[in-house]
Amino acid sequence: MAKFYGPIGYAEMVETRPGVWDEKITEHMYFGDLTRNTRRLQSTETLNDDINIANEISIVADPFANENFHAMRYVGFMGAKWKISNVEVQYPRLILTVGGVYNEQASETT
């Protein structure tokens, strides 16, 4: 089982102007294990196929992660940010299933 250390992005809704809300991404670093490491090609109508990974990463959750697992958006893995498609709570760990590449908006990250 491979070891993991990397950022996880959490989305928080903040009011940028009166009546206008936007997602602000905050990153937290976590340790864990890579429990499944697979990839798949997804054929689409576009010129190039989409690359998706179907990895599972088991992180040791801190109180912030346990209380905000619903706000997780991406995990940094192998130099890219990947969408978190599923989070399974197995206290004291969270099992993250990741999918396609995360497309960032033009919002700030901290």
pLDDT value for 37: 80
* Number of residues that this document lists for the chain: 110
Give me 9's structure tokens. 């992005």
CB 28 within 8 A of CB 8: yes
pLDDT in tens, the chain (110 residues): 789 999 999 999 999 999 999 999 999 999 999 998 887 766 667 666 667 788 999 999 999 999 999 999 999 998 999 999 999 999 899 999 998 889 877 545 45
How far is 93 from 57, CA to CA, in rounded Å? 10
CATH topology assigned to domain 2-101: Thrombin, subunit H (2.40.10)
User: Domain coordinates of the chain in residue numbers?
Assistant: 2-101
For the chain, report the end-to-end CA distance as a whole number of angstroms.
30
pLDDT of residue 86: 94
Its pTM stands at 0.80
